[in-house]
Structure 1
């Protein structure tokens, strides 16, 4: 297929496809004339992956290039494979790295019982995020709330690992693609759950009010 047909098959404009090629995200086609190239289904799949990582995963071009490089390299050892996937997906630490806050984050991770090296970039990222919350005056409940968030995150990570395919190649693709795309999905589910819990708690308060007014009559809250 020609570039126009590739655009039609993916819903991605020809200029965007050419941009992906210039940035090294999408392989060039096979030259058929001096000005035209031919593309196949592998280009369709790669172009759709790039668009998903950009639009749904929110990854930068640099991180997508790193992720694709890992997908193409396909490390043999599973530990190398997952490590490479994690490195490709780890964003730069937001804001300055402040040793005091990195230390706080490291201590928090130890309280969670997680055996993460203190030099791990994500520890510094956690510290920077905690610092930003404090600077914004957000009182989220301190260590107790952070611990509850960590427990929820561990439950999600368990689901991730349980769903990971056994094939190393498929596991690598899952680690990179599914993790990056489901980050936003999980954020959406979190907001939906918040709405549902507000409704439940509001209903619970409404149900309790008649009893509060009728305590002297022994109201039990049951019809």
Structure 2
């Protein structure tokens, strides 16, 4: 297909396709004349992945280039998913300003110990250098600062639910053999399905609250927590 057809099929402007090609993100097409080239389905797949990484994932061109290199070398589902997972921004809680260094270091150490204990209890294989371990450590440190900490035992129940979701994610990806298609699916899972899951959780919370209020009204009892 010509570059104009490639643009129509993928929704990527011709100028962007040429830019991605100059940046080394997209392989050149098969030359058919001095200024013409033919493109194949592999170019369409790669463009969809580039688009997903830069728009859904919010990655820079440099970061996208690194991800594509990792995906090109990944020959397994786990390898491709790992490359995407480590590349996309990690959700973390913002650290509070104005915390003294000694107190911050102490909170960091305590949070890191809680994360290590949680991972050990779950028997999860995650190195300390993992950005997700660091992100969870930051989040727990912020919870401790707000005096709303969760002990590893309390987090374990949530972690088991997350484990079930992760299992479903991998099962859906196992049917994809092509690394590019797999990587594109991974971006969608991480960038889009994560917010969808969070919204489902909030809807479930809303349902539980409304049911409790309705039950309290039906029983003629005051609603809410604690003694009255």
Q: TM-score, length-normalised on structure 1?
A: 0.72
Deviations 1:47-78 (A, max 9, x none): 12221233234444344323322333344xx5
SS in 2 for 1:90: helix
Going from structure 1 to structure 2, the CA distance change for 1:87 and 1:45 (only over 3 Å counts) comes to: closer
Give the corresponding residue for 1:177: 184
1:72 lines up with 2:72 in the alignment: yes
Going from structure 1 to structure 2, the CA distance change for 1:166 and 1:42 (only over 3 Å counts) comes to: closer
Going from structure 1 to structure 2, the CA distance change for 1:131 and 1:62 (only over 3 Å counts) comes to: farther
Going from structure 1 to structure 2, the CA distance change for 1:161 and 1:194 (only over 3 Å counts) comes to: same
Offset at 1:85?
Answer: 4.3
Give the corresponding residue for 2:199: 191
Does structure 1 conserve the Cα–Cα contact (< 8 Å) formed by 2:169 and 2:189?
A: no
Gaps of 5+ in 2: 96-104, 222-228
Offset at 1:144?
Answer: 4.8
RMSD over aligned Cα, in angstroms?
Answer: 3.3
Give the corresponding residue for 2:165: 156
Equivalent residues in 2 for 1:118-133 (5 A)?
A: 118-133=128-143
1:21 lines up with 2:21 in the alignment: yes
1:205 lines up with 2:201 in the alignment: no
> Rg larger in 1 or in 2?
1
The aligned length equals 205
Going from structure 1 to structure 2, the CA distance change for 1:12 and 1:83 (only over 3 Å counts) comes to: closer
Give the corresponding residue for 1:5: 5
Gaps of 5+ in 1: 214-223
